[in-house]
Chain A
Amino acid sequence: EDQVTQSPEALRLQEGESSSLNCSYTVSGLRGLFWYRQDPGKGPEFLFTLYSAGEEKEKERLKATLTKKESFLHITAPKPEDSATYLCAVQAGDSNYQLIWGAGTKLIIKP
């Protein structure tokens, strides 16, 4: 069964303390892996799409990487405004629209 697992469920960091969030997946035929950010009371905001192992993408303090089994969202020197829930989703197989979602990692950056 296709599955996406995110860890940890929650992560508390001090401002400036770099860390990584993990998204592990077991799917048949990866088409794309998506990272979204979700603030309380808002819809998910698109961050990155990764298509193949070895690919990396960066945006400000965030860098997403992909292997054949997992993706990491690295956050460098985070600021309080980076606090949010980060969601990972995978598109796989024959479907060009179905997304398999993880439950998210709630990131809290303390000033």
Chain B
Amino acid sequence: GAGVSQTPSNKVTEKGKYVELRCDPISGHTALYWYRQSLGQGPEFLIYFQGTGAADDSGLPNDRFFAVRPEGSVSTLKIQRTERGDSAVYLCASSQNRGRWGTDTQYFGPGTRLTVL
């Protein structure tokens, strides 16, 4: 596609509910990233996929957060038992991944604004 797309653009849920956020990366990009952004802050790293596998999930705050990328393209971020503190903008980015010695430029989607009531 032309760019990274994310759905939904907005999600309002109640405390304790389960939510799924979807990311469709730029075609041909093997690397995919999820970030969380709070107002007035830079993006906070959550997880990095290289192909189908999670290469680094060190940023996931706890075991209520999980992400998958089963076919190496679309990814879903899943949040169980949502809490009010999970409210934020969830950003997805993708890059070509030029290998260990390259420097990848990450291209971002528009984000999903999650509000937990």
* In the bound complex, CA of A102 to CA of B111 (Å): 19
Given contacts A44-B108, A46-B105, contact A101 B43 (CB under 8 A): yes
Query: B82 at interface (Cβ–Cβ under 8 A)?
Result: no
Nearest CB of A to B55, in Å: 8
Query: B40 at interface (Cβ–Cβ under 8 A)?
Result: yes
Given contacts A49-B103, A97-B31, contact A44 B98 (CB under 8 A): no
Flag if B110 contacts A42 (CB, 8 Å): yes
Flag if A97 contacts B4 (CB, 8 Å): no
Flag if A96 contacts B111 (CB, 8 Å): no
Return chain A residues, CB-CB under 8 Å to B110: 41-43
Can you name the residue of chain A whose Cβ is closest to the Cβ of B111? Answer: A43
Range for the number of chain A residues in contact with chain B: 20 to 34
Query: B75 at interface (Cβ–Cβ under 8 A)?
Result: no
Flag if A34 contacts B99 (CB, 8 Å): no
Nearest CB of A to B114, in Å: 14
Flag if A96 contacts B91 (CB, 8 Å): no
Chain A residues close to B by CB (< 8 Å) = 4, 31-32, 34, 36, 41-46, 49, 51, 87, 89, 91, 96-99, 101-104
What would be 20 A-B contacts, judged by CB atoms less than 8 Å apart? Answer: A32-B103, A34-B105, A41-B110, A43-B110, A45-B108, A46-B107, A87-B42, A89-B42, A91-B103, A96-B97, A96-B102, A96-B103, A97-B55, A97-B95, A97-B97, A97-B104, A98-B45, A99-B43, A103-B40, A104-B40
